[in-house]
């Protein structure tokens, strides 16, 4: 064990003396220790650590959630010309994290970082431009930004280029090109790209491939996307897609709220998306009750599912 107890102060100068293995071991000790290390390095003037600690404050990872403090750390990093800091400062202004929503300030931040070829700033600037009925010129500029971002491996940018090709926003509709872009995005972990690819494969009757890509989408998707995908797929009669729908319900239950746990428990109890599993249904319906939905367990006795 290190001579420095976990609750002792950490200083940036002491971190500089640690070997890579020692530093990795400290970070691996848990989120609180990682936050202390990030804070010490941030105080020491390391702009990467300033952005990292800001993200921890934003997420509540290892430290109390504090969007206002996160905004300040992103601002400090941005003042030092750190591109990640500039981009994250833009995100705060765009989404109202720790400050009022100000799309113009977000645009200015994104433009600063995008001009230095920061691929997330390019993507964020493009999506900002695509809001609110963009002009033909804005559509072309946004596409250019997305292409530059995609060339650096940004899977979300690849998915957006697929949307351009599918709907013909610039240059006309090109479905084969859209499918190629969705495949590229999905292959690199974009859950939306994977789902769009699965949608086309499904329409072509290539069911096994569609199931594969829907499953890949679910594995990376947030609760709201998984919830919506489950509703869509539960309307299908194909057994494989029904099974994927149940997996989507489970993903939503794991990440979402009490109603998501209720929906998954009800599907298990009623045999939607697969065979009846009363034992597992009881677990999830009990969790839904604990999370504030009284009478959820009554579904096991045939009661109707309460509406959201």
pLDDT digits (tens, 9 = 90+) for 30-39: 889 889 988 9
Residue 4: predicted pLDDT: 37
Identify the burial level of 279 via C-beta atoms within 10 angstroms of its C-beta, where 0-12 means exposed, 13-18 middle and 19 or more buried: exposed
More confident residue, 152 or 11: 152
Q: pTM of the prediction?
A: 0.88
67/224 Cα distance (integer angstroms): 22
Task: Read off the pLDDT band of 23 (50, 70, 90).
Answer: low
C-alpha dist (Å) from residue 41 to 12, 13, 36: 5, 9, 9
Tokens encoding 231: 């509703």
Contacts 24+ apart (CB under 8 A), 263-269: 263/227, 263/230, 263/305, 265/296, 265/299, 266/299, 266/305, 267/234, 269/299, 269/300
- Evaluate if residue 3 carries a pLDDT over 50: no
CA distance 289 to 269: 15
C-alpha distances out from residue 42 to 13, 65, 73, 141, Å: 12, 17, 8, 36
DSSP state of 299: G
Domain boundaries, the chain: 1-100
Phi and psi, residue 79, nearest 5°: -65, -25
Count Cβ neighbours within 10 Å for each residue of 281-304 and write b for 16 or more, e otherwise: bbebbebbbeeebeebbebbeeee
Q: How many residues does the chain have?
A: 308
> In this predicted model, what pLDDT tens digit does every residue of 137-189 receive, in sequence order?
999 999 999 999 999 999 999 999 999 999 999 999 999 999 999 999 999 99
Query: What is 1-100's CATH number, 1.10.599.10, 3.20.20.450, 1.25.40.10, 3.40.50.300?
Result: 1.25.40.10
Q: Are 173 and 162 in contact (CB under 8 A)?
A: no
Burial code (b: 16+ CB inside 10 Å, e: under 16) for 218-247 equals bebbebebbbebbeebbeeeeebbbbbbbb
Could you read off the pLDDT of 249-297 as tens digits, one per residue? 999 999 999 999 999 999 999 999 999 999 999 999 999 999 999 999 9
The predicted structure's pLDDT at residue 2: 35
The confidence band for 9, taking pLDDT boundaries of 50, 70 and 90, is low
Question: Is residue 244 a contact partner of residue 234, using CB atoms and an 8 Å limit?
Answer: no
Tokens of 27: 């970070």
Separation in Å, CA 80 to CA 35, 50, 52, 262: 21, 10, 15, 48
Who's near 224: CB < 8 A, 6+ residues apart? 252, 256
What are the strands, taking DSSP E only, across 105-178?
none
Three-class SS of residue 217?
A: helix
CA distance 78 to 83: 7
């Amino acid at each position: 064990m290190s001579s420095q107890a976990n609750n002792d102060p950490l200083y940036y100068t002491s971190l500089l003396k640690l070997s890579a293995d020692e530093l990795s071991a400290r970070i691996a000790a848990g989120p609180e220790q990682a936050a202390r290390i990030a804070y010490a390095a941030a105080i020491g003037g390391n702009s990467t650590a300033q952005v990292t600690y800001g993200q921890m404050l934003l997420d509540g990872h290892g430290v109390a959630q504090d969007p206002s403090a996160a905004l300040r750390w992103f601002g400090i990093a941005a003042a030092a010309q750190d591109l990640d800091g500039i981009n994250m400062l833009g995100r705060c202004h765009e989404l109202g994290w720790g400050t009022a929503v100000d799309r113009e300030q977000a645009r200015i931040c994104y433009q600063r970082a995008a001009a230095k070829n920061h691929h997330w700033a390019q993507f964020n600037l493009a999506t900002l431009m695509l809001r609110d009925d963009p002009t033909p010129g804005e559509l072309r500029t946004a596409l250019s930004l997305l292409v530059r971002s995609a060339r650096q491996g940004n899977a979300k940018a690849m998915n957006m280029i697929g949307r351009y090709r599918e709907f013909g926003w610039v240059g006309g509709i090109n479905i084969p090109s859209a499918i190629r872009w969705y495949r590229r995005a999905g292959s690199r972990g974009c859950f939306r790209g994977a789902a769009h690819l699965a949608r086309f494969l499904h329409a072509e009757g290539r069911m096994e491939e569609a199931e594969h890509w829907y499953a890949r989408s679910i594995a990376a998707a947030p609760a709201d996307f998984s919830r919506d995908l489950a509703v869509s797929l539960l309307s299908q009669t194909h057994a494989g897609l029904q099974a994927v729908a149940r997996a989507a319900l489970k993903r939503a239950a794991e990440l979402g709220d009490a109603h998501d746990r209720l929906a998954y428990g009800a599907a298990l109890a009623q045999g939607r998306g697969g065979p009846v599993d009363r034992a597992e249904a009881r677990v999830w319906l009990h969790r839904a009750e604990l999370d504030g939905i009284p009478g959820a367990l009554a579904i096991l006795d045939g009661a109707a599912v309460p509406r959201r």
